[in-house]
Amino acid sequence: MILRSFKSCRSLLSIVFVVSASTLYGDCRLGQGTDLEFNFFGKYKPEGFWGNRLNFFNVNDLLDKAFFARQTLDLTSEVSYGKKTYERPVVEFRATFRSKNLWGNANIFKSTGAEIRVLDATLGEHNHAIPRILWWMRESYIRFPLGRPVGLDFKNRIDLTLGIFAFDLGRGIALGDSYAAGQDSLGFYSDSLVDQYAPGVRLSGDILPNVLSYDFYAALLQNNSGSIAETSAKILSQEFGRRNCPQRGFGKINYLIAGRFQWKVFDVAKLGSLMIEPYAFFNSDPEQRVQFLADASTKLGTAGLALEYAGNMWEFGFDSAMNFGYQRVKGWDRNIIETESRNGVLTFVNSHVLLNADPTDSALCATKAEYKAVHAPKVVGPGFALSKVGKEAQTIINSAPQGAQYNGQKIGTVPGFTADVNAPSPTAVPTDDLYNACNRFRDPYINKLQGWMIVGDAAWWLYKRDLKWAIAGGVASGDANPNEEIIDGNYKGFIGLQEAYSGKRVPSAFLLGGAGRAKRPLSVPSEEAPNNYSAQVNGFTDLVLAGTGLTWLPSDWKKQFSINTNVLAYWEQFPTKKFDILTKKNSEANASTFLGTEINLFIKYDILKNLRWFTTISVFVPGSHYSDIKGKPLNSEQSKQLDAFIRESLDEGLIPNISNHTALTFNTGLEFKF
């Protein structure tokens, strides 16, 4: 139906908006031709989720469940100009706005984390929730040709795209478009999880029309040089040699450049179509975090090759890539001022400087609970002398020579610092010796990146175009956490950037993809590691998979219907160690590499032309790997639970933390396109 008509005697003669069942169109007519076109469409998706034993596969953890309802609304506007005059649009604009929220949850949005400091002490990060349903820009870009319309005489097509838009390489494993993805729960598959695409610029064109094309792409992933507040932020005081010049400086920009060729080898009815895509990208990230903000930087490069073939009765494809480059971990002073409760009094202490330690005692590597950490100068005791001594001690601590060779070494002596700050009349002692903890300083080192991956699948139509059988397999290299040892080394685990791959012809609803990550912990770290607990890997890395699936799409049904079921098995590529629950340490033997088996079911049914009902069900049966690492803690809270279990019970049926029980998920909803 016609909603509204505007008339003008100048350049625009008329604009007519027309609403159809799926789109809203507008035409701007100049004389008998049409150069300006409008298009508006959207998608509304309400859905519900339920899951049990999602994260730790432990039937004893009664809290590891989830239920929620959610809605996602996308509104997209498109404007193009020039089709009549130039035979194709010469300017195209597209913008998509998104709103997504959980029903009944007031904490819809959370701000980014900000570091909290009290005087000189670092207390961690903090964020706030915004209890309102908001809109944000998922994508917005403009595209136009660099040819005759702008006065350049190029024979072949050359287009320039600027803004926020989707771009990936191959199957999106080496480089995906998941720049800002929603935090979905584990096992809840979503084909629209990306909440925002990366801002960038893309130059694309044809070398041989309809045969060979190219794309060159650059993106700005993080810019910390946009204001004097960012360039002057004092974040590097712990880097070796930066105590007196801790400012961030200019040029700390995380950027990406990428390129690919797409060669259509053939596309004929008899043979089918074959597409080959070689690609490469380079990413420079100057401020990564190993243990502290900006304590590492990475230069990551990846080169790969993808292929896709589609014929009348069968199809196949693969994607493969290899990493190169390095991560440079900076020399760093781990000592920071933090807070502790000392006899009920909030006390500021130095985290990696100890009092009166015995340099011949191996317990020098003990925690602050065994040796008193030095009070920072902001703690003012009952007597002025104690405060004065505290300032003197802090000066010695801050000016100590830096380097791993000084770990565990005496760095100075101060008079009477061990007086009890909580005593009514503290009594000074003659002298106190200050010692570096055994891991205060971390020398610089380099991790060379040498990961690789390959994934492939194929499918056959078994009966007309109604029944399709597919198989899939893949390997992504893995390795131990490269930052557990402070040495130069080679990291052989594959690194994908912005990856959210969930399979193509045999999709995963549980273990893969960006809609949740199963807990896949590495080995318990050594004493020198940044964290006392296992690091975790997720996504398409340190993984071997094999799967098969059937899809039924009955062609004689009046309304479109499809049902797809898949079975996938997963293994670790790099073996980790078994976990000994009594000693809370790894054993010498390797754990089984078999992670488990996933069975999933996807159902889609078009109730109306633009209204679809969908349901996704998944079951994950953990393999022998999880039996071998039962009870492994991933954080301090889980470590406390394990301590209590060892003291009170040794019933294997009640082991806390990670276990090997079956996980279940269920997702259903509607999708209305208009």
Q: Is 484 helix (H, G, I), strand (E, B) or coil?
A: coil
Q: Which residue, chain included where needed, has tokens 């130069």?
A: 488
Residue bearing the bigger pLDDT, 487 or 164 = 164
Instruction: Indicate whether 530 pLDDT > 60.
Output: yes
**Which DSSP string do the residues of 588-653 spell out, in sequence order?**
EEEPP-EEEEEEEEEEEEEEETTEEEEEEEEEEEE-HHHHHTTT--SSHHHHHHHHHHHHH---GG
Q: How far apart are CA 438 and CA 407, in angstroms?
A: 5
Residue 115 pLDDT: 66
Question: What percent of the chain has pLDDT above 90?
Answer: 54
3-state helix, strand, coil in the chain (%, to 5): 10, 50, 45
Structure-derived torsion over alpha carbons of residues 624, 630, 632, 638, reported in degrees to the nearest 10: 140
Binning pLDDT at 50, 70 and 90, where does residue 370 land? Answer: very low
Residue type, position 442, single letter: R
Instruction: Indicate whether 111 pLDDT > 70.
Output: no
3-state DSSP of 35-90: EEEEEEEEEEEEEEEEEECCCCCCCCCCCCEEEEEEEEEEEEEEEEECHHHHCCCC
Q: Is 386 helix (H, G, I), strand (E, B) or coil?
A: helix
Report how far apart, in Å, the C-alpha atoms of 365 and of each of 220, 351, 434 are.
42, 12, 14
Residue bearing the bigger pLDDT, 170 or 121 = 170
- Residue 255 burial (10 A CB sphere; 0-12, 13-18, 19+): middle
Residue bearing the bigger pLDDT, 115 or 504 = 504
Residue 389 pLDDT: 57
Binning pLDDT at 50, 70 and 90, where does residue 432 land? Answer: confident
Q: How far apart are CA 402 and CA 237, in angstroms?
A: 12
Q: How many CA atoms lie within 13 A of 388 on its CB side?
A: 6
Structure-derived torsion over alpha carbons of residues 84, 88, 92, 94, reported in degrees to the nearest 10: 100
pLDDT digits (tens, 9 = 90+) for 43-90: 999 999 999 998 899 998 888 898 999 999 999 999 999 888 887 888
Report how far apart, in Å, the C-alpha atoms of 538 and of each of 77, 170, 496, 627 are.
35, 20, 10, 19
Binning pLDDT at 50, 70 and 90, where does residue 588 land? Answer: confident
With the C-alpha atoms ordered 654, 657, 662, 667, is the resulting torsion angle positive or negative? positive
Residue 496 pLDDT: 94
Q: Give the list of residues 6+ apart from residue 32 with CB closer than 8 angstroms, or none.
A: none
Q: How far apart are CA 603 and CA 509, in angstroms?
A: 12
3-state DSSP of 287-338: EECCCCCCCEEEEEEEEEEEEEEECCCEEEEEEEEEEEEEEEECCEECCCEE
To the nearest whole number, what is the mean pLDDT of the chain?
A: 83
Compute the C-alpha angle 351/354/355, nearest 5°: 140
Q: 435: which strand partners?
A: 354, 410
Residue 11 pLDDT: 35
Residue 27 pLDDT: 40
Q: Give the list of residues 6+ apart from residue 387 with CB closer than 8 angstroms, or none.
A: 377, 379, 380, 381
Residue 120 pLDDT: 59
pLDDT digits (tens, 9 = 90+) for 443-471: 999 999 999 999 999 999 999 899 999 99
Q: How far apart are CA 261 and CA 258, in angstroms?
A: 11
Residue bearing the bigger pLDDT, 446 or 101 = 446
- Is the Cβ–Cβ distance between 82 and 91 less than 8 Å? yes
pLDDT digits (tens, 9 = 90+) for 615-670: 999 999 999 999 999 988 888 888 888 888 887 766 777 888 899 999 999 999 99
- 445-449/489-491 β-pairing: parallel
Please state whether 104 falls in left (phi above 0), alpha (psi between -120 and 50) or beta.
left
- Is the Cβ–Cβ distance between 28 and 35 less than 8 Å? yes
Binning pLDDT at 50, 70 and 90, where does residue 350 land? Answer: confident
- Is the Cβ–Cβ distance between 71 and 101 less than 8 Å? yes
pTM, rounded to two decimals: 0.87
Residue type, position 527, single letter: E
Q: How far apart are CA 672 and CA 74, in angstroms?
A: 11
Lowest-confidence region among 52-56, 246-250, 431-435: 431-435
Instruction: Indicate whether 106 pLDDT > 50.
Output: yes
Q: How far apart are CA 316 and CA 447, in angstroms?
A: 36
- Residue 117 burial (10 A CB sphere; 0-12, 13-18, 19+): exposed
Residue 126 pLDDT: 66
Residue bearing the bigger pLDDT, 517 or 311 = 311
pLDDT digits (tens, 9 = 90+) for 42-56: 999 999 999 999 889
Residue 294 pLDDT: 92
State phi, psi for 369 to the nearest 5 degrees.
Answer: -70, -25
